Protein backbone atom coordinates (compact mmCIF):
# COMPACT_ATOMS: atom_id res chain seq x y z
CA UNK A 1 0.00 0.00 0.00
CA UNK A 2 1.64 3.17 -1.19
CA UNK A 3 -1.21 5.66 -0.92
CA UNK A 4 0.79 7.75 1.51
CA UNK A 5 3.93 7.97 -0.57
CA UNK A 6 2.85 10.92 -2.70
CA UNK A 7 1.69 12.92 0.30
CA UNK A 8 4.84 12.12 2.24
CA UNK A 9 7.02 13.10 -0.71
CA UNK A 10 5.15 16.35 -1.26
CA UNK A 11 5.71 17.32 2.37
CA UNK A 12 9.02 15.68 3.24
CA UNK A 13 10.87 15.13 -0.03
CA UNK A 14 14.16 16.84 -0.82
CA UNK A 15 12.65 19.23 -3.34
CA UNK A 16 15.38 21.73 -2.62
CA UNK A 17 18.05 19.64 -4.35
CA UNK A 18 18.91 21.92 -7.27
CA UNK A 19 19.28 19.13 -9.84
CA UNK A 20 15.64 18.25 -9.20
CA UNK A 21 14.65 21.71 -10.36
CA UNK A 22 15.95 21.23 -13.88
CA UNK A 23 15.31 18.77 -16.66
CA UNK A 24 18.21 19.86 -18.77
CA UNK A 25 19.83 16.53 -19.64
CA UNK A 26 23.37 17.88 -19.30
CA UNK A 27 22.70 19.26 -15.83
CA UNK A 28 21.05 15.98 -14.84
CA UNK A 29 23.93 13.93 -16.24
CA UNK A 30 26.49 15.98 -14.32
CA UNK A 31 24.52 15.49 -11.11
CA UNK A 32 24.11 11.75 -11.63
CA UNK A 33 27.78 11.21 -12.35
CA UNK A 34 28.82 13.27 -9.35
CA UNK A 35 26.40 11.35 -7.15
CA UNK A 36 27.92 8.01 -8.15
CA UNK A 37 29.54 7.18 -4.83
CA UNK A 38 29.71 10.75 -3.55
CA UNK A 39 27.21 11.94 -0.91
CA UNK A 40 24.64 14.62 -1.71
CA UNK A 41 26.04 17.15 0.75
CA UNK A 42 29.44 17.07 -0.89
CA UNK A 43 28.06 17.25 -4.43
CA UNK A 44 25.82 20.24 -3.72
CA UNK A 45 28.35 23.10 -4.02
CA UNK A 46 30.35 21.40 -6.75
CA UNK A 47 27.44 20.76 -9.12
CA UNK A 48 26.53 24.44 -9.28
CA UNK A 49 30.13 25.47 -9.81
CA UNK A 50 30.68 22.90 -12.57
CA UNK A 51 27.59 23.97 -14.52
CA UNK A 52 28.33 27.65 -14.09
CA UNK A 53 31.65 26.97 -15.77
CA UNK A 54 30.41 24.49 -18.40
CA UNK A 55 26.65 24.93 -18.91
CA UNK A 56 26.53 22.70 -22.00
CA UNK A 57 28.19 19.55 -23.33
CA UNK A 58 29.74 21.72 -26.05
CA UNK A 59 31.42 24.05 -23.57
CA UNK A 60 32.72 21.14 -21.51
CA UNK A 61 34.01 19.33 -24.58
CA UNK A 62 35.87 22.50 -25.58
CA UNK A 63 37.74 22.50 -22.27
CA UNK A 64 40.87 20.43 -21.76
CA UNK A 65 40.81 17.22 -19.73
CA UNK A 66 43.17 18.83 -17.24
CA UNK A 67 40.74 21.66 -16.60
CA UNK A 68 37.89 19.24 -16.01
CA UNK A 69 40.01 17.08 -13.67
CA UNK A 70 41.07 20.14 -11.68
CA UNK A 71 37.46 21.24 -11.37
CA UNK A 72 36.69 17.73 -10.09
CA UNK A 73 39.37 17.72 -7.39
CA UNK A 74 38.05 16.66 -3.98
CA UNK A 75 35.03 14.77 -5.34
CA UNK A 76 36.86 11.48 -5.66
CA UNK A 77 36.94 8.88 -8.44
CA UNK A 78 38.37 11.27 -11.06
CA UNK A 79 37.84 8.63 -13.74
CA UNK A 80 34.22 9.81 -13.59
CA UNK A 81 35.35 13.28 -14.66
CA UNK A 82 37.33 11.88 -17.57
CA UNK A 83 34.34 9.81 -18.64
CA UNK A 84 32.01 12.81 -18.35
CA UNK A 85 34.36 14.88 -20.48
CA UNK A 86 34.43 12.17 -23.16
CA UNK A 87 30.65 11.89 -22.99
CA UNK A 88 30.40 15.65 -23.50
CA UNK A 89 32.44 15.33 -26.68
CA UNK A 90 30.23 12.52 -27.98
CA UNK A 91 27.07 14.48 -27.22
CA UNK A 92 28.47 17.66 -28.77
CA UNK A 93 29.37 15.74 -31.91
CA UNK A 94 26.33 13.49 -32.34
CA UNK A 95 23.60 14.77 -30.03
CA UNK A 96 21.90 12.88 -27.24
CA UNK A 97 21.26 9.16 -27.69
CA UNK A 98 17.55 8.46 -27.90
CA UNK A 99 17.20 5.27 -25.87
CA UNK A 100 18.60 3.35 -22.94
CA UNK A 101 21.05 1.31 -24.99
CA UNK A 102 22.39 4.42 -26.69
CA UNK A 103 22.80 6.29 -23.43
CA UNK A 104 24.75 3.38 -21.97
CA UNK A 105 27.29 3.76 -24.74
CA UNK A 106 28.29 7.08 -23.21
CA UNK A 107 31.37 6.47 -21.06
CA UNK A 108 30.56 6.50 -17.38
CA UNK A 109 26.87 5.89 -18.05
CA UNK A 110 25.76 2.47 -16.87
CA UNK A 111 22.33 0.88 -16.35
CA UNK A 112 21.37 3.16 -13.49
CA UNK A 113 22.44 6.48 -15.00
CA UNK A 114 20.89 5.68 -18.39
CA UNK A 115 17.54 4.98 -16.79
CA UNK A 116 17.86 8.03 -14.55
CA UNK A 117 18.40 10.27 -17.58
CA UNK A 118 15.37 8.80 -19.36
CA UNK A 119 13.19 9.25 -16.30
CA UNK A 120 14.45 12.53 -14.84
CA UNK A 121 15.45 14.46 -17.96
CA UNK A 122 13.73 12.96 -20.98
CA UNK A 123 10.38 11.98 -19.44
CA UNK A 124 10.58 8.61 -21.11
CA UNK A 125 11.09 6.09 -18.33
CA UNK A 126 11.99 2.72 -19.81
CA UNK A 127 12.56 0.88 -16.54
CA UNK A 128 13.09 1.83 -12.89
CA UNK A 129 16.25 3.87 -12.30
CA UNK A 130 17.28 1.45 -9.60
CA UNK A 131 20.18 2.62 -7.52
CA UNK A 132 21.09 0.95 -4.23
CA UNK A 133 18.40 2.91 -2.40
CA UNK A 134 15.57 1.86 -4.68
CA UNK A 135 16.87 -1.68 -4.66
CA UNK A 136 16.95 -1.79 -0.88
CA UNK A 137 13.50 -0.26 -0.45
CA UNK A 138 11.98 -2.58 -3.04
CA UNK A 139 13.62 -5.65 -1.53
CA UNK A 140 12.49 -4.84 1.97
CA UNK A 141 9.11 -3.28 1.43
CA UNK A 142 7.81 -5.09 -1.62
CA UNK A 143 9.56 -8.47 -1.38
CA UNK A 144 10.25 -8.83 2.33
CA UNK A 145 13.94 -9.60 1.92
CA UNK A 146 17.23 -7.71 2.10
CA UNK A 147 18.45 -8.48 -1.39
CA UNK A 148 16.97 -9.92 -4.57
CA UNK A 149 17.89 -10.29 -8.26
CA UNK A 150 17.66 -7.05 -10.23
CA UNK A 151 14.87 -8.26 -12.49
CA UNK A 152 12.68 -9.08 -9.50
CA UNK A 153 13.38 -5.69 -7.97
CA UNK A 154 12.50 -3.91 -11.22
CA UNK A 155 9.26 -5.87 -11.54
CA UNK A 156 8.30 -5.08 -7.95
CA UNK A 157 9.07 -1.39 -8.40
CA UNK A 158 6.88 -1.25 -11.50
CA UNK A 159 4.05 -3.20 -9.89
CA UNK A 160 3.88 -1.00 -6.79
CA UNK A 161 4.01 2.42 -8.40
CA UNK A 162 0.86 4.31 -7.38
CA UNK A 163 -1.15 5.15 -10.46
CA UNK A 164 -1.36 8.76 -9.33
CA UNK A 165 2.42 9.17 -9.22
CA UNK A 166 4.43 9.89 -12.34
CA UNK A 167 7.60 7.82 -12.73
CA UNK A 168 9.75 10.85 -11.93
CA UNK A 169 8.05 11.60 -8.62
CA UNK A 170 7.86 7.91 -7.71
CA UNK A 171 11.57 7.52 -8.30
CA UNK A 172 12.54 10.67 -6.40
CA UNK A 173 10.20 9.76 -3.55
CA UNK A 174 11.83 6.34 -3.17
CA UNK A 175 15.29 7.94 -3.32
CA UNK A 176 14.25 9.99 -0.32
CA UNK A 177 12.69 7.06 1.54
CA UNK A 178 15.93 5.17 1.06
CA UNK A 179 18.16 8.09 1.99
CA UNK A 180 16.15 9.57 4.86
CA UNK A 181 14.14 6.71 6.39
CA UNK A 182 14.98 3.22 5.18
CA UNK A 183 18.75 3.30 5.56
CA UNK A 184 20.95 0.27 5.14
CA UNK A 185 21.62 -0.18 8.84
CA UNK A 186 18.62 1.60 10.35
CA UNK A 187 14.97 1.92 9.43
CA UNK A 188 12.70 4.70 10.70
CA UNK A 189 9.49 2.76 10.14
CA UNK A 190 7.55 5.06 12.47
CA UNK A 191 7.85 7.89 9.96
CA UNK A 192 7.80 5.78 6.80
CA UNK A 193 4.86 6.19 4.39
CA UNK A 194 5.41 2.65 3.11
CA UNK A 195 5.25 1.04 6.55
CA UNK A 196 1.53 0.05 6.42
CA UNK A 197 2.16 -2.35 3.53
CA UNK A 198 5.81 -3.07 4.16
CA UNK A 199 6.68 -6.76 3.92
CA UNK A 200 9.64 -6.30 6.27
CA UNK A 201 8.01 -4.11 8.90
CA UNK A 202 8.04 -6.78 11.61
CA UNK A 203 11.56 -7.88 10.81
CA UNK A 204 12.89 -4.31 10.73
CA UNK A 205 11.34 -3.66 14.12
CA UNK A 206 13.78 -6.20 15.53
CA UNK A 207 16.61 -4.07 14.23
CA UNK A 208 18.51 -4.21 11.00
CA UNK A 209 21.60 -6.34 10.91
CA UNK A 210 23.35 -5.33 7.73
CA UNK A 211 26.40 -7.33 6.76
CA UNK A 212 29.40 -4.97 6.68
CA UNK A 213 30.18 -3.94 3.16
CA UNK A 214 33.61 -5.20 2.22
CA UNK A 215 35.71 -2.27 1.24
CA UNK A 216 39.48 -2.22 1.10
CA UNK A 217 41.05 0.28 3.49
CA UNK A 218 41.93 3.52 1.75
CA UNK A 219 45.09 4.51 3.68
CA UNK A 220 48.06 2.74 2.17
CA UNK A 221 46.16 1.74 -0.94
CA UNK A 222 47.07 2.18 -4.57
CA UNK A 223 44.00 4.36 -4.89
CA UNK A 224 45.43 6.79 -2.42
CA UNK A 225 48.70 6.91 -4.33
CA UNK A 226 46.94 7.38 -7.66
CA UNK A 227 45.05 10.30 -6.20
CA UNK A 228 48.24 11.91 -4.95
CA UNK A 229 50.07 11.34 -8.25
CA UNK A 230 47.20 12.78 -10.26
CA UNK A 231 47.01 15.90 -8.08
CA UNK A 232 50.74 16.40 -8.40
CA UNK A 233 50.63 15.97 -12.17
CA UNK A 234 47.76 18.43 -12.51
CA UNK A 235 49.69 20.96 -10.47
CA UNK A 236 52.87 20.50 -12.54
CA UNK A 237 52.27 18.42 -15.69
CA UNK A 238 55.87 18.56 -16.92
CA UNK A 239 57.71 17.25 -13.87
CA UNK A 240 60.01 14.25 -13.96
CA UNK A 241 59.36 10.94 -12.27
CA UNK A 242 61.99 11.78 -9.65
CA UNK A 243 60.28 15.08 -8.85
CA UNK A 244 56.96 13.28 -8.77
CA UNK A 245 58.26 10.67 -6.34
CA UNK A 246 59.46 13.46 -4.09
CA UNK A 247 56.11 15.21 -4.31
CA UNK A 248 54.15 12.13 -3.18
CA UNK A 249 56.73 10.84 -0.71
CA UNK A 250 54.32 11.26 2.18
CA UNK A 251 51.88 8.72 0.76
CA UNK A 252 52.45 5.25 2.30
CA UNK A 253 52.14 3.26 -0.93
CA UNK A 254 54.79 5.43 -2.58
CA UNK A 255 57.44 3.76 -0.42
CA UNK A 256 57.30 0.58 -2.48
CA UNK A 257 59.83 0.72 -5.33
CA UNK A 258 58.18 1.27 -8.69
CA UNK A 259 54.83 2.14 -7.17
CA UNK A 260 54.78 5.71 -8.51
CA UNK A 261 55.59 4.57 -12.05
CA UNK A 262 52.89 1.93 -11.71
CA UNK A 263 50.39 4.55 -10.59
CA UNK A 264 51.32 6.75 -13.55
CA UNK A 265 50.79 3.87 -15.96
CA UNK A 266 47.43 3.13 -14.43
CA UNK A 267 46.32 6.73 -14.73
CA UNK A 268 47.35 6.79 -18.38
CA UNK A 269 45.61 3.51 -19.08
CA UNK A 270 42.42 4.89 -17.56
CA UNK A 271 42.61 8.02 -19.68
CA UNK A 272 43.31 10.40 -16.81
CA UNK A 273 46.70 11.48 -18.11
CA UNK A 274 47.46 12.15 -21.76
CA UNK A 275 51.21 11.78 -21.73
Partner DNA sequence: ATCCTGCACA
Partner DNA sequence: TGTGCCGGAT
Q: Which of 228, 244, 248, 273 binds DNA (CB under 7 A)?
A: 228
Q: Which of left, alpha, beta for 271 (phi over 0: left; psi -120 to 50: alpha)?
A: left
Dmax of the chain from CA atoms? 64
> Is 74 an interacting residue with respect to DNA (CB under 7 A)?
yes
Annotated active-site residue in 32, 67, 100, 262: 32
Backbone angles phi, psi at 182, to 5 degrees: -95, 70
> Is 79 an interacting residue with respect to DNA (CB under 7 A)?
yes
Helix (H) / strand (E) element for 202: namely helix 201-205
> Is 5 an interacting residue with respect to DNA (CB under 7 A)?
no
CA angle 88, 94, 100 (to 5 degrees): 80
Q: Which of 227, 233, 254, 259 binds DNA (CB under 7 A)?
A: 227
Q: Which is nearer to DNA, 3 or 23 (CB)?
A: 23
Q: Which is nearer to DNA, 109 or 198 (CB)?
A: 109
Q: Which of 12, 22, 25, 40 binds DNA (CB under 7 A)?
A: 40
Q: Which of 5, 26, 31, 139 binds DNA (CB under 7 A)?
A: 31
> Is 258 an interacting residue with respect to DNA (CB under 7 A)?
no
Q: Which of 11, 16, 21, 37 binds DNA (CB under 7 A)?
A: 37
In whole angstroms, give the CA distance from residue 31 to residue 188.
27
Q: Which of 70, 152, 184, 203 binds DNA (CB under 7 A)?
A: 184
- DSSP secondary structure, 67-126, as one string: HHHHHHTTSS-THHHHHHHHHHHHHHHH---SSHHHHHTSTT--HHHHHHHHHHTSS---
- Does residue 32 carry a catalytic annotation? yes
> Is 250 an interacting residue with respect to DNA (CB under 7 A)?
no
> Is 19 an interacting residue with respect to DNA (CB under 7 A)?
yes
In whole angstroms, give the CA distance from residue 253 to residue 264.
13
Number of residues that bind DNA (CB under 7 A): 62
CA angle 24, 29, 32 (to 5 degrees): 125
Distances 274 to 210, 215, 216, 238, 270 between C-alpha atoms, Å: 42, 30, 28, 12, 10
- Catalog residues that contact DNA under the rule CB under 7 A: 14, 17, 19-20, 31-32, 35-42, 73-79, 83, 104, 107-114, 116, 129, 131-133, 175, 179, 183-185, 210, 212-218, 221-224, 226-228, 230-231, 266-267, 270, 272
Amino acid sequence: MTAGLAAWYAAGGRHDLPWRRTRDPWAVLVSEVMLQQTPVARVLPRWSRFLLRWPTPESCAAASLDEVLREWEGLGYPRRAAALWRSAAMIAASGWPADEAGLQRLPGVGPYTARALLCLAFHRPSAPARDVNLGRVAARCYLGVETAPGARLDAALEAHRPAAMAWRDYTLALFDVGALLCRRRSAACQRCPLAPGCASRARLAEGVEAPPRKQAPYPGSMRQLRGAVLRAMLARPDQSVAELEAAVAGVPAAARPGAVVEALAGLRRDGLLAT
